[in-house]
Each structure stands twice: as C-alpha cells, then as structure tokens.
Structure 1
Amino acid sequence: MTSDPRDTRTVFWDNGQVCMIDQRLIPFEFKINHYDDYAQVADAIRTMVVRGAPAIGAAAAYGIALAARISRATDVASLQADLREASDVLAKSRPTAVNLFWAINRMNARAQELIAGGADADSVRAGLLEEANKVADEDIEINQRMGAYGAALVPDGATIIHHCNTGALATVGWGTALGVIRSAHAAGKHIHVLVDETRPRLQGARLTSWELQNEGIPHTVIVDGASGHYLRRTKVDLCVVGADRIAANGDTANKIGTYNLAVVAKANNVPFYVVAPFSTIDLSIAHGDLIPIEEREMDEVLRVNGERIAPVDVQAGNPAFDVTPHEYITAIVTERGVIYPPFDVNLRKASE
C-alpha cells in the first residue's frame, strides 16, 4: 500500500485482513481501517465506511474471502455452510446497490466451481481470495475503459455538473462518472466541474471535492438546489452521474437528488449521462419502480457533524436513493461502450 491517498485502493486485502479507506473521515483525516471478520465488513458497508456501488461490490467479495479464511471448516460442506451464513449477513448490509449481490453471487459461484472440480477446503479458500482480487483488479480496468468512452463525450472547455461521489473512493480505483472527468482532464481538456454538495452526507462537498483537489481539476462546490440556476443561467455542457442499480429499461437508481438534476437538465437541453459498469445493470428488474430504495436514519438529515439543525421531535425522511426514469437519460456509459435509447433494447444487446 502506498502512503499517497491518490494511489491507495479504496478496498484491498493485506495480511489476512480486509482494508478500507474510512470515507466518513475525509477530507479531515485519511485513515485505513482493518477488518478480520466478515460481520465487521458488513457493518462497514452499512455505516458507509465504504460506499459507492462498485466499492461495495469489492468489499463484499473480500468479505466472502475473509469468511472463508476465518472459517474453521475442514471439509467443503462445512465451508459452504459458513459461506452461506456470511453471504446472508453481507447481503443485508444495504439493499439498493446491485453490485453487492452481484459480487456475493460471483464469489459463491466460484466456490461451487472449485468444489465441483475437486478442490478441498483450503484450495477453495485460496481460490476465493484470488477471485476477490480479480473483482478489484477488474474494477479499475473497467473504470478506465469507461473513462475513455465518456471522455470522448466531453468537449474541451466544458462545464460539467456532477452529483454525489463517483470517483476512486466510490470504486476500487479511478471512478465511474468522476473517472470520465479524470480521463477528460488527463487528455488535456480544460474543464470545470460544478460539484453538488449532495445532502445529507455531503459526499460531493467532502469526497468529490477532495478527489478533484488532489487531481488539480478546477471545480466549484454548489448546494444541491443551485443546479437549476446554473443550468439555466450559465453555460453547462453536460451532467454526469453514477448509478447504484439500472433496470432493464434504463431507469436508474442513484444518490438522492439525481432525479431532480436529470429533470432540470432535460428542461434546459443539457445532456445527462449515467456512467456505470455492467455489473450495475440488473436486467432481471423490468423498471425502476421495482428497485428497493434504502431509507436511512433520520439523524443524517436532522444533524450535521453531530450538531442538531432542526427542532427537537421533528421527523425526517431520508431515502438514500431515487430513481431517474430512462426518458431523462441521454446515454449510459459502460465498459462496453456508450449505450443510447431505446435502453430496453440496447442494454440487452450489449449484454449478449
């Protein structure tokens, strides 16, 4: 592991432990947490030590590898039972990001494949760690491919609105929507990013701004409610966002406030791009109304940095995500290329 935050993977394996950048502390402190039990990994996902769909997927993959490592099973049947228990615990950590379930399923499928091939318990353990490392390595490669596809959509001199955090911190490395911005910057394009602060946890103001500052990319933090003003009164060239789950028809679940931004972008004829790996696309779900939306604790809305900002006994709604209907989305940038409407046809074509 490097001491440079820019080169540190968000999630990685070190000396038999799952390690994660504690994103709750950024930008004020850069700290690596170490976990030696899969239940701790699940709690880290739930409490948002790690967040962002691809990063959650990698954390879950390492959580399964860790479950195999700490299992006392000496035979594959007992090991499978322990893996089923770990899978259940990890799956309950957060409901919306499909990468979580994709990673758990991939790891269990690999275990089954190894067992079918005659592997003993220790060989399954080794194979699962290798698979988790592949999930992490592939994530960075995929993000860089998406970055290249997306950067081609960014004109030189562009002003870009970005919502939440979709950078290296939301993935294992490089980023999805923010990866597009990084790739455009690396290609020499002169860009400026308007960073939605992203209430209630301020992932834009805390995390995206921190990443952009580290990369030397010009940006301005704006309150979420100001995006309409900037879209109408200034020259905004495009909006880019990530995704936590994309339905078969292109409806996209992403951080709360994404739907608002998409509607106002369309009203002002500004392209709205979703950037996500194919592991985020859930073709088993027909449309976005079927995507489960996580409701988080009221205190995330009623308090900022532990200080209450609303009267005592006031109730708060805190959906972590909303669903943007596909008609507001210009295109979906994936590692397989840029996918345009009709999404119900072209997402399936790209998956074949």
Structure 2
Amino acid sequence: MPLLTSTMRCYARPLASNKPGFTLKQKVKTFNRTNVSILLATLLLGILLYVVLSLVAQSIDPEPFTLDTGDTPDNVVPPAIRTRTDLELALGGNVAELNTLLAASIDWYEQRGYLGPLPVLGRIDDSTLLNVYAAIPAGDLLTLAGNGDIAAAQALAELSMSSDNKSPPEAIEWYRQAASYGSVYAMFRLSELLQIFANRQLDVFNSDPVYSARLTELRNNNPLIERDALAWAITGLLAGGLPVAQPELAQNIKKLSTALGEYDTVRACDKASRLLLDLAAERRSRGRLVFSTEPPPLFVSAPRISDVLPCETSLQPIIDTSMCRAISVPGLINPNQTLWRCD
C-alpha cells in the first residue's frame, strides 16, 4: 500500500510545471512575453548598428558624391554666327549671290572706319587698307588726315597711344576727328579709351611720368570722363544703328549705365544726341553727306535696338532698317543674335 499510495501521489501532480500552482496557460503567456522582448531588443540593436555605420561613413567621406557632367547651363555658350562658315551654314542655299552681298557689307563697314577683322563677313585679318596706312610715314598721314581721310586719322590716333611719347589727349583728338569724318568705329574707340583713362587702378602699371602727367591733365579737364565714355558709345550706336549693335556692345553699355546710375545715363543720352548733331554739322561744313541712313545688305546683330540703347524711345538711330528682315536660323542663332537681310 505504501508503494501504491506513492505512485498515485506522483500521478496526481500537475503536468504543466514542477512548481505548484503554475498552469499551462500561464506558461504560454510567459513564453510570449519573452519572445516580444527578444524582438524589441533585436530591432533596437539593428537601429543602433545603422546609426553607427552611417556616422562612420560620413566621417570617411563627408561630401556627397556628385557626377561630373561637364559645363553647367550657365557656362554653356549658345550657338552663334561668328565666322563666314557659320554664315554660309545659316543661309544654306538661299543666297546664291553671297559673295556680292558680303563684299557690299564689308564696304559699308569700311566706310565707317571698320578696318580690322570682320570674321562674320569673311575677313579674318586686318584690311589691306589698314596694312597700307600702317606703313605710311606720320608726315604723310597728317596730310591725308587733314583732307578727311578716316583711315589716316585713326592711324594717327593709334600712333599717339603706341609710341614712346604717348599722349591720351592727342589720341582722343584724332579719334574725334575721325568720328567727324563719319567713322562709327572711332566713336566706339573713343568710348573704350575714355574707360581706360578713367580707370585709376591701372595707374600702378604705368611707370612713365610724362604719360602720367598727361593722363592727370585729361582727368582734371574732364571730371565726367565716365559719363563721356557712355555718351560716345551711345553716339556710335545712334550713327551705326542695328548693324553695329553687337552683344559685346550691349554688355559694355549696360555695365557703364549701371555704374553711372539713372541720372548720369540720361545725361549721357542727352550728350550723345548733341554729339551726333555736332558731327553732322562738321561733315556738312566739309561738303559731305551728313550721315547715310542705308544699312548693309547682310549683317548679324542684336534682335532689337532697344536691347542695347539705354535711352528713351524718342532717341533712335539714323540707320533705316525698316526694309530689313530677320532670317530664321533654327539651332544656330542664340537669343542675343539675329541675322538680317536688307533689300
């Protein structure tokens, strides 16, 4: 009996646990809590590992990786007509008499003092005329310039700035005389020289005391030299019109106008209109035509004169481009450039 009783007591013990009072349901509940705790701990460990790896990666290469794609849109130069080859491609087979048109256009620019390269029209070097005048003695140039020769006057102006005895006032005087002969190039060259003479930062590069004294005298006699530089640029634009309104000129005029401000820009426009009248009167006194209003048959320029001229609309160039038409050249002309054909 003692053995039977002991066996019965053994089978009478709970099967769920060796601990008294711990049921199967309670054991399952405890098991689930343990699994959840393990999952949470694993998740937190993964997050911590990700953060650590990210910090390590940043310390090795703090700069983000970027792919080098070359020029950005701001650095890309828009397609444009810059040479005769570009012009031929733009016109295609539409203009059979291209050589005749180019010769007439070159002649138009030469009459207005443009004796250097004209790459769009096919002249990549200085004109033959400019090379000839560069070899003429100064005494003969004086005689020619006195008789109204534009090329001679411009050659003397350059000699005044290229010789050992540089004289800014003399260069300005010769270019002023060339402008009175009808040289639009001389008007723009005057503007360029006045900008150079007004720039005092360039004085440190000059070691010639005579030149410095002449430059100081020029500045003292003309305290509004920057305004005059803008006035001469506008005068050239009024005399030459759209055919001389290149994008580079537009940028230069805008730079000058911005630096001077609205008041001085208006004064420069007023002076430009007076200069144009004075130059016309001087030409008339020499028995010459005041100024021709005829444009060249073919040229490349800004789309509109208003894009370049900083003056009010009542002040317009004397060149008549009403009979000119813009030639559409898809994919070649940039927004700042237009190809014109004038019949």
TM-score calculated relative to the size of structure 2: 0.28
| Between structures 1 and 2, the one with greater helix share | 2
TM-score calculated relative to the size of structure 1: 0.27
- Computing the radius of gyration from Cα coordinates, the structure with the larger value is 2
